[in-house]
A = this chain, B = another copy of it.
Amino acid sequence: MGKRLLVIGGVAAGPKAAAKAKRCDPQMEVVIYQGEEEISYAGCGLPYFISGVIKDRERLISRTPGKFALDGIKVLRGRRIEEINIKGKTISGKNLESGELFEDRFDRLVLATGAEPIRPKIEGIDLRNIFYLRSIFDADAILQAMQSERITDVVIAGGGYIGLEMAESLIQLGKKVTIVELAPQILTLFDEDFAAVLRQYLEAKGVQIFTSEGIQALTGRDGRVTRVRTSAREIEAHAVLMSLGVRPRIDLARKTGLKIGETGAVWVNERMETSVEGIYAAGDCAETTHLITGKKVWVPLGSTANKQGRVAGVNLCGGHAVFPGVMGTAIFKVFDFNVAKTGLSMREAEKEELHPIQAIVRGYDRAHYYPGGKESTLKVIADQKTGRVLGGQAIGEGPSDKLIDILAMTLHGKMTAQELANVDLAYAPPFSPALSPVIVAANVLTNKIEGKVKGIQLAEAWERLSTSGGSFEVLDVREEDEVAKKRIPGSTWIPLGKLGKQVGELNKKKEIAVHCESGLRSYKACLKLQEQGFENVKNVDGGMLCWCDEPEGKG
């Protein structure tokens, strides 16, 4: 008889590990235990189910227990596992319907217990119409509640990407939506410039956003939530979605004595094996390694869960597979904006004591002359000393997914900006500009690394202009029609073509930040000024691409 594999958890990593193990070793007895009544569902699809983009709930279920049975995998639902006996190689748990206790034995075990939403201990948290979004049942509950006409005002606690996706879903359902975020910006994994662009976009779509505000209490009437009290105001709310993040579900692992890592998730090696031989962990309950920093991280994502589940499945059959780690790649769609990231942000790179520099360029999806084009703004970050590419961010209606995937592969290949500048990407007019935006960005980075022109971040230029009392100047070298549309208040305007004649109007003693729309003309202007003996000129990264009419901190 074959070995017996028990899998605890039936959403993503668990079923994947089970299926892979059964294919690797058809003799193996495989049982999946799942606390909930549904298994193998698409957690990442839930916001789209709520918004109505995905109409059929069944579509979210990848595989039913019947399909698992066809492959010889047994699925036991509604069973909560309460104890693991390492020495005796048994588990015990409770049938949630009948209340009966049960036991089972194993040769191999996979923990795929997932993550759970953070539930803050604040006043009123137990009122009705306070929601979390983690399981398909949470989605059912939200959807049902949102059909009520009494619920018109919804507050979302937390401006991470689940909160933002849900903001769109709820706007689509006709709700008035307010996001309250404790941090000074939404989307804290992104740099503040990109977060500000997204904020402006969401506000234009009707989402109200308050940052640097913690939720202090929820108040209600007749047991239902009616208002949210933050550190700065009270907001009417007929429902509240708590999306303050998730944490790994590790009670069982901790109780069992499995090593918990520094991130608070279950420690595993590259083979996804825990501190106890024969017991594996995969998916949202397990930690992993960040491949840029080399540090342990906990990044719960469906794609990672699938890969880790497969690796665990191979190894528990005696095979050899490794999951080396993640790059921190993430993407989400909110309205028509595609927002994506890989690797480190500027802020994260600075924390790692690297020397990050950035290029911000237009990320077109086709040749400029091919009609129907869409554009994202692309940021690529590299280390000034080594040239190594550290990360990237993309935002807009354009091909953020493709650009970030190219950058994720750049990171996997440990490439420098100089190397990235010459990669052989697919070019034809309907698919890309002749030079891919990542190549343009790599060229900008290469120029910076070679030190021809220094860069300055837009936010810093703005702040210096506002506070330096005249020793700092922002020079706009765009054309008249561009300046008429939007302009940085207090900037000096000389179009590039007139710079030669009007250079006398500028003061060589001042520090000058030059900008245009996207950075190329201002780069040329910087070169011209340096030639004329200006020693303290800087090119504003990405020009006006990240300029917001009312950016955070701009007052």
Contacts and interface: CB of A to CB of B under 8 A. Distances in A.
A60 interface: yes
A503 to B, nearest CB: 14
B422 A413 contact: no
Contacts of A331: 426-428, 431
Contact of A409 (B371, B399, B410, B422): B410
Nearest to A430: B333
A327 interface: yes
A531 interface: yes
A125 interface: no
Contacts of A446: 321
A435 interface: yes
A125 B362 CA distance: 46
B370 A424 contact: no
Given A310-B443, A367-B45, A401-B431, A412 B406 contact: no
Contact of A71 (B12, B23, B430, B524): B524
Interface string A44-70: 110010000110000110100000001
Given A323-B422, A329-B424, A409-B410, A435 B44 contact: no
Nearest to A423: B412
Interface in A320-343: 321-333, 338, 340, 342
A370 to B, nearest CB: 6
A497 interface: yes
A231 interface: no
Contact of A369 (B42, B368, B434): B42
Contacts of A26: 527-528, 531
A465 interface: no
Contacts of A347: none
Contacts of A310: 421, 443
Given A70-B497, A324-B422, 12 more contacts: A26-B527, A26-B531, A45-B369, A71-B524, A303-B427, A325-B424, A329-B424, A329-B426, A333-B428, A342-B426, A401-B432, A413-B414
